[in-house]
Amino acid sequence: MTGFALVGHQFRYDQKAFWRNPAAVFFTVMFPVVLFLILAVVFSGEEVDVRGGIEATTYYVPAIMSLAIISATMQTLAMTLVIAREDGRLKRGRGTPMPPWVFIAGRVGNSIVVALMMLVLLAAIGALFGADVPWDRLPAILLTLVIGAAAFCCLGIALTAAIPSQDAAAAIVNAMLLPLYFLSGVFIPEDQLPDGVIAFADLFPVRHFFDAFMDAYVPAGASAVSWDNLAIVSLWGVAGLLLAIRFFRWTPRSG
Amino acid sequence: MVESPSLADPVISIKGLRKSYGETEAIRGIDLEVERGEIFAFLGPNGAGKTTTVEILEGYRRRNGGEVTVLGEDPERAGREWRERIGIVLQSGRLDPYLTVRESLDLYAGYFRNPLSTADVIALIGLEGKADERASRLSGGQQRRLDVGMALIGDPELLFLDEPTTGFDPSARRQAWDVIAGLRDLGKTVFLTTHYMDEAQRLADRVTIIAAGQIVARGTPQDLGDRENGETTIRYRSAGQEVAVQTMTPVETLHEITAAALASGEVLEGLEVTRPSLEDVYLELTAEAELPTEGRRLS
C-alpha cells in the first residue's frame, strides 16, 4: 500500500477500536451531549450578557462544541497514545515497515472525524433548543473546527511526553483541561466570571478556541472568521507540534 | 543440520558487540553468528543482556561498539525494505484489546508488501476457533500466539522472539513451542531468547549462553547437555555430617571411599552418585560468569 492508502487502512482500524472503547465513547461522545442537555435545561430561558445579550442555550452550543472537540482530539489522543505506548503497541508498530507518520495520521484522522461528528451532533441538538444553525457562516465554523482540531491534536501528542504511565494519563489531562474550561467560561457563562479570570484564561488556547466558535455563531464584528483567535490557537498548535516532534516517544516509559 | 556456510552469508553476524547504560556495561564484547533456517536460542538469566542484544539486532537500541549485520544490513541504518524481511515479538507487548484476532492480523498485513493470508496465519498459530474474538478475551497464551502471528503476517525471513513463554503454564508453553517449532518447517530463521534451559533444548538447533554480558558457552543442546564430561558428585553422611565429593573420575573416587568405609566398618548413610542435570550445567556456567568481575559471591 502507498502512504495515503495506508493512512486510510490505519484509520479504519482506529475507528473500530475507538467505537468499541467504552471509556472513549463515554467521555468523547456521551459526556458533552449530556453536559449540554443539563446546561440547556437548567439555564433555559435565561439570558447571558455577552454580545448584546444572547440566549443561554445559544451560548452553550459553541461552549460545549469547543469542549467536545478538545475532548475528541487532545484528550483522546493523549490518553490512547499513552496507553498504546505503555502497552508496547507503538513499539511493535515501529518494528514493521509502516512509516511512523502513517500511524500518527491515522490517529489524528480518527480524532478529526469524531470532532466533526460532535460538531454536527451538538449543532443539531442546539437547534432543538432554539440555537439556530448559522448556515451562512458554515465556512467560518468549519475553518475553526479544522484549525482547532489540528492544533489540539498536536497539543495532545505533545502532552504524552509529560505523562509517565497509563494510570497518570486521565489525571494529568483532566487536571490541565477542567480548570481551563471553568476559567474560559465553558461551564459558567463569562458574564458571571470576574474580569481577571477571562484575562488569565486568554493566556491559554481553550478560551481562544471557544471565542472563535462564538464569533462564528454570534458574530461580534463584521467577520464571522475570528482571525486573531485562530492565529493564537494555531501558534499553540505549532508549539505543540514542535514539542511532539522533539519529545514524543514510541517505547514504554516503564519497563 | 545442514552445513552450508559457504553457500549463504549468516543471517545475523555480531562481532565485538558492546553496550553500556551509564556506568553499567550490559554487553561486554560478544560475537555470534546465526545461519539461515536455524532456530537459534540465546539463553541466559534475567539481566544477562539478552533483551539488550536482541533490541540492538531489531534496530531499537544503538550499540556502543562492535559490528552488527542482520540480513546484510546494519540495523541502526536499515530502513523500510529491511523491515519487510523481519518479524518481531517483543518481550512484553500487549495487543489492542478492542480488535479481534482477525482484525489485528489484517491491520498488520496492510503494513507489508507481500503478507501471508490471515487465514493461514490463524491456522498456524492455532487460533481458528478464536478468529473473531477480541484480544482482551484471549488467555495469556493465546494473546502471545496472536503476537507471534502479527510478527509472522509479513512473511519475514527472520523472526525475533524475546522470551516468548515467560510466565506461561505448562500447557500454554507446549502450545507456544509447537507454533515455534512449526516455523522451522516454513524455512524461517528464528532468534529466540529464553531463560529456560528446557525451552532452548526443545526448540533450538544451536544454543548460546550469555551471562553478565558475556558469552559463556555455545553449542548444540546435545553438546551443552553432554553430561559425560561433567563433574560427578558423591554424597553420603558420615558421623551425622553431610559429605559431598566432586570428582572427574567417579569410578576411582567411589572405589576409594567405599574401600575406606569397608575397612573401618562405617556405613555410608544416604550414599548417592549424581551427575549434573542440564539445569546444573546452565546454573554453573552462568554463576561463574557473574563471580569474578563483580567480586561477590552469589548463593
Res B293: pLDDT: 47
User: Where do the domains of chain B lie?
Assistant: 12-224, 228-294
- The Cα B188–Cα B185 span in angstroms is 8
**If you measure CA to CA, which chain A residue comes closest to B147?**
A92
* ipTM attached to this prediction: 0.92
Q: Which residues of A touch B150 (CB under 8 A)?
A: 92
pTM: 0.86
Arithmetic mean of pLDDT over chain A:
93
Q: Please check whether residue A51 touches B, CB under 8 A.
A: no
Q: Please check whether residue A23 touches B, CB under 8 A.
A: no
Low-confidence stretches of chain A (pLDDT < 70) are: 222, 255
Q: Do B60 and A94 touch (CB under 8 A)?
A: yes
- The Cα A83–Cα A79 span in angstroms is 6
Q: Which residues of B touch A92 (CB under 8 A)?
A: 88, 90, 93, 150
Name the pLDDT band for B6 (thresholds 50, 70, 90).
very low
Q: Work out how many CB contacts closer than 8 A connect A with B.
A: 66
Amino acid at B217: A
Q: Do A95 and B113 touch (CB under 8 A)?
A: no
Cell of B175: 502450545
Res B185: pLDDT: 87
Q: Do A10 and B83 touch (CB under 8 A)?
A: no
Q: Which residues of B touch A94 (CB under 8 A)?
A: 60
Q: Do B60 and A97 touch (CB under 8 A)?
A: no
Of the partner residues B58, B60, B80, the one whose CB lies closest to the CB of residue A97: B80
Name the pLDDT band for B291 (thresholds 50, 70, 90).
low
pLDDT single digits (tens) A220-236: 776 778 899 999 999 99
Q: Do B110 and A6 touch (CB under 8 A)?
A: yes
- The Cα B2–Cα B4 span in angstroms is 6
Res. B7: pLDDT tops 70: no
Give the strand pairing for B232-238 and B241-247: antiparallel
pLDDT single digits (tens) B89-122: 999 889 999 999 999 999 999 999 999 999 999 9
pLDDT single digits (tens) B231-266: 788 999 887 888 888 888 888 999 999 998 899 888
Res. B4: pLDDT tops 60: no
Q: Do A17 and B96 touch (CB under 8 A)?
A: yes
Distance to chain A for B111, nearest Cα, Å? 5
Classify residue B79 as left (phi > 0), alpha (psi -120 to 50) or beta. Answer: beta
Question: B12-224: which CATH number, 3.30.70.20, 3.30.2270.10, 3.20.20.100, 3.40.50.300?
Answer: 3.40.50.300
Q: Do B111 and A21 touch (CB under 8 A)?
A: no
| Cα separations in angstroms, A186 against A68, A74, A81, A134, A210 | 11, 17, 26, 20, 8
Extract the runs of DSSP E, i.e. beta strands, from B35-180.
39-43, 65-70, 86-89, 158-162
